[in-house]
Structure 1
Amino acid sequence: MDRDDDLGLFGPGSVTWAVHREPILLLAGLRSLYLQALHPRAMAGVAQNTDYRNDPWGRLFRTATYVGTVVFGTTAQAEAAGRRLRTLHARLRATDPLTGEEFRIDEPELLRWVHVAEVESFISTAKRAGVPLSDADVDAYYDEQRRSAALVGLEPGSVPGSAAEVADYYREILPQLRMTKEAAETALFLTAPPMPWKVGPALRLGLELGPPRWAYFGLAGTALGLLPSWARRLYGGLGLRSAEVSAQLSARGLRLALGAVPRRYLEGPIYTAAMERVARLGAVQAV
C-alpha cells in the first residue's frame, strides 16, 4: 500500500530527480534507442519479440511510463513495475543473428548493456543540453541508478557506478558492437517513424511531410549527433567534433524552448503525484 511519506527509490534530494524532471530527456530516450541498436543480440531480442514497427508510439509511451514510475513513483510502485518487467523478460527468447544460438532476453550482459546505454544517454544528454551538473553529480547519478538496475534483475555492483566506470565499460564492449542489417533498419525507422497523425502531402515512401515531420527529423538528427563518436562512426558518420558541437547547440536550444512551455503541459500524472507527496510531507514536517 502506498504511503504519503514514501518518496520512492530516490527522492527530491537526488540527482536522479533533478535530471528526470527535465523535458529534454525525451531526446535522451531517442539517443538511447539508437545506441542500443548497435548491440546485435540486444537488437535481435527487440526485433524478434516486439511490435515496435506497428506500435512505435505505444511502445515509447510504455517505456516512458516505466521510467517515470521507477524514478518518481512510490517504492511499491517501482518494485511492482520491476517485477512485471522481470516476469515478461523471463518468458522471452531470441535467436542470435550471427551464431543462430537461442538466448534469453534477460541475460545479465544484455540487461547491463540496455541499462548503461539508457542511463548514460539520460545524464550525458541532460548535461550537454545545459542542465547544471558537476562531475560529482554525474557520478552520483550513475551510483543512484544502480537501484534501477536492481529492479530489472541485475546485481547493483555489476553495473558501472561512475563516469569512469561507464567509459571503461564502453571500451570493453565496443568490439561486440556493429552495424547489422537489423540495426540499420531500426535506425532508419527511428529517424522516420509513422507520425501519430497524418499531416501534409504524402511521398511514395509513405511519409507525410509537414511541420511535425520536419521537427521530428531535427530531433532525430540531434539525437544521432549526441551519440559517442565511436557510435557515430559505426553508423557511417565520421565522428567529427563539429557534428557533436552542432548537436549540443541544438539540444541547448531545444531545452530553452521547452523551458518556455508551461510546466502543466509537460508534467505527467506520475510526476504530479510525486510532487503532491512531497508537498504533503513538507506540510506534515512543518506542523
Structure 2
Amino acid sequence: MHGDPMMWVAGVRALYFQALHPRVVRGVMQNSDFRRDAWGRLMRTADFVGALSYGTTETAEQAGERVRRIHRLLKATDPDTGEVYRVDEPELLLWVHCAEIASYVEVLRRSGYPLTPDLADRYIDEQRESARLVGLDPADVPADRAQMRAYFARMRPELAVGEEARAVDDFLRRPPTPPLLAPARELLWRRVANLAYGALPAYAHTLYGRPAPAPRAVDVRLRATGGLLRCVPGRLRWQLPPRHILRAMERLGPGSRPAPYRPIGRAAILDGPGRAMRGDGGDTTRWRKPG
C-alpha cells in the first residue's frame, strides 16, 4: 500500500482531516510555519512512513524516538481559556494517527487498490505498531474498521473548523507559488487537493462549510487518477523523495523489488522456491526477486 502513488492524495486528505481537531491543528500552527513549510511537513510525514515501511527495525525505532523527542518539547496555548497543553497528549496523538490511517485506507480502496475488507482490517491492526512508535499504547488504538468507525463517531462532537483549520484549508486549495509555477499549481496541485478534499466524510464537508460532492462522482475521479498514476513504471515513481523503496532495494540486494500490484491474499510473494522474502533487521514489507 505504501508504495502506491495514490498515497500522496491520501496524505493530503489526512491533513484536511487532522485539521478538524482544534487542539491538534492549533499545536501545528503554533509550533511551525505551516504556510511556509507545508510541503516540508508533508515530506517529513512521508519520510517517517517510508522509514517504518521500508527500513530496518533499528531505523524504525530511531525514527519513532526522534518524533517522540521533538513532541516532548512542544506545547500550545488555547486562546479561549489560556490553557497550555503538550502536543504529545495521547488524545491528540490518537487523532493524528487515526485520521492518517483512515485516509490511507479510504483513498486507496476507493481509487481501485485491491484492498479487501479483511486486508483493510489487517492493515489497521498492523499500523498500531506505528502508533506505538509515536508514543501511544497500542491497546488504546483502533485495531480494525469497526473500531475505527466507533472512534470517529465518538470524536465528532469534538471537531470544529476554526481559524487555524481554515488557514490549512486555504493553503491546501491555493498554496503560494512563484509565478512561473502557477500554471502547474492549477493543472496538478488543484486536482490533488480537490481529490483529497472530496474523499473526506460528509460531516467534514459540513464543518468546512462547503457542500459534499456526490460520493459516486468522487469514486470515479479517484479510480481514474489511480489508474493513470499506476501506469507510471515503479522505477520512475520511486525516484521521487524520500526514496525509501530504492534504498531498501539496494540494501536487500540485486533483483529485489516491492511486491507487484495485486492482493497478497491471492498470490504469494516468494524469494526462490517457497520462501517468503524478508529484509535484514526485521523488515516487514514483502519483496520478490525475478525468476
TM-score past 0.5 threshold: yes
Counterpart AA for 1:141: Y
Pair 1:270-2:244 in alignment: yes
> What CA distance in whole angstroms lies between the structure 1 residues aligned with 2:12 and 2:80?
26
Which residue does the alignment assign to 2:195? Answer: 222
TM-score by length of 1: 0.84
Instruction: Output aligned runs, 1:70-109, within 5 Å.
Output: 70-109=52-91
State the Cα distance separating 1:257 from its structure 2 match: 1.4
> What CA distance in whole angstroms lies between the structure 1 residues aligned with 2:23 and 2:15?
14
Is the Cα contact below 8 Å between 1:72 and 1:271 reproduced in 2?
Answer: yes
Identify which of 218, 222, 227 aligns with 1:247: 218
Which residue does the alignment assign to 1:172? Answer: 154
Pair 1:213-2:186 in alignment: yes
Note the aligned Cα RMSD (angstroms).
2.0
> What CA distance in whole angstroms lies between the structure 1 residues aligned with 2:204 and 2:79?
20
**Secondary structure of 2:68's match?**
helix
Moved more, 256-265 or 161-170: 256-265
Moved more, 19-28 or 266-275: 266-275
> What CA distance in whole angstroms lies between the structure 2 residues aligned with 1:266 and 1:198?
26
Identify which of 37, 50, 67 aligns with 2:32: 50
State the Cα distance separating 1:283 from its structure 2 match: 6.7
> What CA distance in whole angstroms lies between the structure 2 residues aligned with 1:238 and 1:54?
29
TM-score by length of 2: 0.83
Which residue does the alignment assign to 1:24? Answer: 6
Counterpart AA for 2:180: V
> What CA distance in whole angstroms lies between the structure 1 residues aligned with 2:8 and 2:143?
23
Identify which of 258, 261, 264 aligns with 2:229: 258
Counterpart AA for 1:199: L
Pair 1:113-2:87 in alignment: no
- The C-alpha deviation readout for 1:84-116, integer Å capped at 9, x for no partner, is 000000000001244221000100000000000
State the Cα distance separating 1:278 from its structure 2 match: 4.9
Structure 1: tracts of 5 or more residues without a match: 1-18, 201-207
> What CA distance in whole angstroms lies between the structure 1 residues aligned with 2:126 and 2:69?
24
What is the aligned-residue identity percentage? 42
Structure 2: tracts of 5 or more residues without a match: 257-270, 278-291
Counterpart AA for 1:260: C
> What CA distance in whole angstroms lies between the structure 1 residues aligned with 2:95 and 2:42?
19
**Secondary structure of 1:133's match?**
coil
Runs of 4+ in 1 over 3 A off after TM superposition: 275-286
> What CA distance in whole angstroms lies between the structure 1 residues aligned with 2:172 and 2:127?
26
Identify which of 199, 207, 223 aligns with 2:180: 199
> What CA distance in whole angstroms lies between the structure 1 residues aligned with 2:150 and 2:168?
27
